[in-house]
Amino acid sequence: MIKDTKEIRITAEPQMDPNVCRFIVDRPLYTGFFKCVNAEMAKGSPLLEALFAIQGVNEVLVANDMVTVAKNGNDDWPIVGRKVGAAIRETIAAGGELITKDASKKPATDKALWAKIQKVLDEEINPGIGMHGGAVDIIDLQGSTLFLSMSGGCQGCASASYTLRHGIEQILASKVPEVTEIVDVTDHESGDNPYY
């Protein structure tokens, strides 16, 4: 158990969407990733319960050492961010499992939808990205949320976010409208080409 929560270092990274902020913690929180979209889904998981207790929080994605929080309230990130940091520190300091195994049980993946997405990646997205030494892979599919990872020249590329939002998302939106959200789970800070 951690006695001084100040020992836990957290870095906030504002995202392009002003209602979303990513928090990088100095230790792993969860193996893999888990998306929680409401307080009901958070029940039984101390970290998720603590985050959803913050007014305005409406979505949380935990991936390894990252916590991405979406808010719908009027409070600015400097206010909400302090509450998020405190919630993360306090649940880590309390010890024990942060997200229960039951919470992370995923529904069966839609294999037909996965295959449809893979076909678009293989035939329309990866050939273009491959010309720049990169590739995009499906990591998971949870309902209509697609989790992708970028590798090769795309990992750490300063244009990766632009490629995702204005290339990959637009192609998938027109070819696979069943996908309503795309999450990049790439660790862009490691590898040969980390963000500057």
Give the pLDDT confidence score for residue 97 in this predicted structure: 87
Strands 181-184 and 145-152: parallel
Query: How many domains is the chain built from?
Result: 2
* Same domain? 85 vs 156: no
User: Is the pTM for the entire model greater than 0.85?
Assistant: no
Is residue 10 located within the same domain as residue 80? yes
Render pLDDT for 150-160 as a digit per residue (tens, 0 to 9): 777 666 666 66
* pLDDT tens digits for range 33-78: 788 888 888 899 999 999 999 999 999 988 888 899 999 878 899 9
Nearest by Cα to 86 from 28, 23, 44, 43: 23
**Per-residue pLDDT at 24 exceeds 90:** yes
Which is higher by pLDDT, 117 or 185?
Answer: 117
What sections of 43-159 are H helices per DSSP? 46-52, 77-94, 111-120, 126-130
Spatial distance between the Cα atoms of 91 and 29, rounded to a whole number of angstroms: 10
Q: What is the CATH number of the domain that holds 142?
A: 3.30.300.130
Which residue in 108, 103, 170, 176 sits closest to 141, CA to CA? 108
